[in-house]
A and B are shown apart, each in its own frame.
Chain A
């Protein structure tokens, strides 16, 4: 497809999903930001005629969408793969209730963990929750399949799972656009037998699910998204999602059964296809999901005995796994210094974690956000990170296990948006059960990691309209925290003092580390000093280097160079600030005891 037609656009998968949802007449959409799903809601919020919101977490978001469906309109919930774990509770029972308006749940998986803590394969949720799941192969299909997903949802009275991966969500391709479907009017309709899931009605609905799955299996046999592409029959491939693209490039002449609906499966269609090929190979990323279910039908096939079950695939891996002799030699990689991501120059988190990095016997129970990067050297100030909100609860669990031994040694750290997402209940638990763990809320006024989304504490909605901003101090006191201290993390000395006092306190106390993200537009615009190094005064003590700020570089020197520069012969190097990169936080100046770093006002 090219851009020659006036109706075509060049969109990312996420932009295409927003377009497809809008065209399908979606009227309510809720989600929590998470890579690689975030841009769906961001783009959808720009369309007229659809209510969009950032929810504090994915469970809330999905429940909002269920409510809209109960009121009779088409509704969408978006989240990353691990978000569906949080939303699994409403998901499994929404499978029983169904809805009135179409309900589509987008789960964006992240094979290879580009920006995630695990690479779980959410196709398994379709099986477990007994729900149909669609999976597109590129942005154009993503847009088209959204319409199909809503149609299936309403026709079969079921939520529909819509799975993407990073290589759909963040791939740009040519996408056709169309008109918007007519939207339904919302209304109240009481349907207690369908919406009240007490054991009695739930047992009735449970039987409905079995009927629904039978109908969906019939649908799968004739759905145009499940199609055979003719080709040579010595090898036939069954594939779906982005793996389809890799098969088409690695084996362009082979016959392919491409599945657009990956649950439930079209058993007869698969059996027929298998019967016409000499060897059947299933190519899929991550788990042997299709393979397992195809084998359970008694159809012999190959799959994970050839194709890796972890990480992303590409056409090279697919070709090499199946025909190892046909791939050429590649250049060997060079041994180069790694370039992991780093907190930005001037990031407020750095000051707080610098303080924690100086407390070697303290266990830092971390969480999910930009600040997880404090794990990396030179700060190396995070000792665990499991899932959203787990910092507080893991710290509490450790404290209870350690008893007296752990006093003054356990601290939880999480961001403002993560605290809203699922930290509050953990804090309630810590207070209720008399914990001594300290909780640090990194309040940078925004959900930063995913690219600056608003949240219930930022004071604005997804559309940038003013909203209530939660007051953390009041909230923490309301759940029973007696000691709540606010500190400016750029003030290194004050921060270290507060950390020492609060971590030693034998009760749950909260430190709010408050300073805005340096990338916020108002922070970028704000006049700030620029710090510069007076290298004559630098003694090479490396105190500033231990911040790990990307604007500060260490310049190694030989003894001769040291003498020539007027340093002591044994000085191994000196620090240098790249002024263009400095964001003026002043943390390094706090640390320098030799007047080698000073601020100058920027014009």
Chain B
């Protein structure tokens, strides 16, 4: 039986989490897994903390990752890497974009942004891979590909071949953006071990 897994995507509404989780899901489907994904629409999307659960395996029942069982978390923002700690375990890998988006209480001077988030995760044994996805996306020449850079970095932790991801980008992304997104995926993939 093929080994399944749980991937949690977290970030701030509007960061492109939807596309990132869709590409990952389609790659797992191409690899022959059953895949379920759960997300929340509506009010939560207005700049709030958002999370998407992705589960793949031989047969997936629950669309929700059980607390303590996320193998990988893809966090698009630092605070949002720590908010869903409940879902992680000591062998989880967290791929985190080092961007900081100030939550309202911080932006209005009522609270401060914690400065030791990644250390907090590391101190629990969690494998933290931090990257500046925006800087990488800027180098590629398209800021909006930061989410696909994140998918590339995360793909190192999956058994699915990178070629499947590149094929999925070809199938699922608008023609004129395919090349730049494939570049973004590759750049993200390369960053982890460079």
Contacts and interface: CB of A to CB of B under 8 A. Distances in A.
Q: Interface centre among B63, B104, B109, by most A CB within 10 Å?
A: B63
A131 B157 CA distance: 50
B67 A316 contact: yes
Contact of A245 (B40, B62, B103, B120): B62
A10 B42 contact: no
Interface in A542-583: 542, 545-546, 548, 550, 552-554, 556, 572-573
A170 B37 CA distance: 8
B80 A339 contact: yes
A173 B42 contact: no
B1 interface: no
Contacts of A573: 109
Contacts of A332: 85
B105 A337 contact: yes
B107 interface: yes
B122 interface: no
B40 A166 contact: yes
A451 B107 contact: no
Nearest to B143: A580
Nearest to A320: B67
Interface string B110-143: 1111100100100010000000000000000000
B190 interface: no
Interface in B26-74: 26, 29-30, 32-49, 59-64, 66-68
Max chain B C-beta neighbours (<10 A), residue from A166, A170, A337, A340: A337
Contact of B42 (A114, A171, A340, A548): A114
Contacts of B107: 545, 550, 552-554
Interface stretch (A85-93, A341-349, A459-467, A589-597): A341-349
Interface string A1-13: 1111000001000
Contact of A333 (B49, B85, B112, B124): B85
Contacts of B105: 337-338, 377
B82 A170 contact: no
A167 B89 CA distance: 24
A70 B73 CA distance: 52
The dominant DSSP class at the A interface is loop
A115 B86 contact: no
Residue in A174, A242, A550 with the greatest tally of chain B CB atoms within 10 Å? A550
Interface string B11-32: 0110000000000011001101
Nearest to B82: A334
A397 interface: no
Given A2-B32, A174-B34, A573-B109, A450 B42 contact: yes
Given A377-B104, A554-B109, A573-B109, A1 B44 contact: no
B194 interface: no
B163 interface: no
Contact of B104 (A340, A449, A451): A340
B146 to A, nearest CB: 12
A149 to B, nearest CB: 22
A315 B63 CA distance: 10
Nearest to A14: B41
Contacts of A3: 29-30
Contacts of B26: 10
A376 to B, nearest CB: 7
Contacts of A331: 68, 85-86, 88-89, 124
A246 B39 CA distance: 17
B25 A36 contact: no
Nearest to B49: A339
A4 B86 CA distance: 34
Interface string A367-388: 0001011001110000000000
A546 B13 CA distance: 22
Contacts of A115: 40-44
Contacts of B30: 3
Given A3-B30, A171-B63, A376 B40 contact: no
Given A115-B42, A249-B61, A341-B13, A334 B104 contact: no
Given A242-B63, A330-B86, A341 B43 contact: yes
Contacts of B88: 331
Interface of B: 12-13, 25-26, 29-30, 32-49, 59-64, 66-68, 79-80, 82-83, 85-86, 88-89, 102-114, 117, 120, 124
| Chain A to chain B: the 10 pairs with minimum beta-carbon distance, closest first | A115-B42, A35-B42, A341-B48, A341-B46, A554-B109, A245-B61, A171-B63, A339-B103, A339-B49, A245-B62
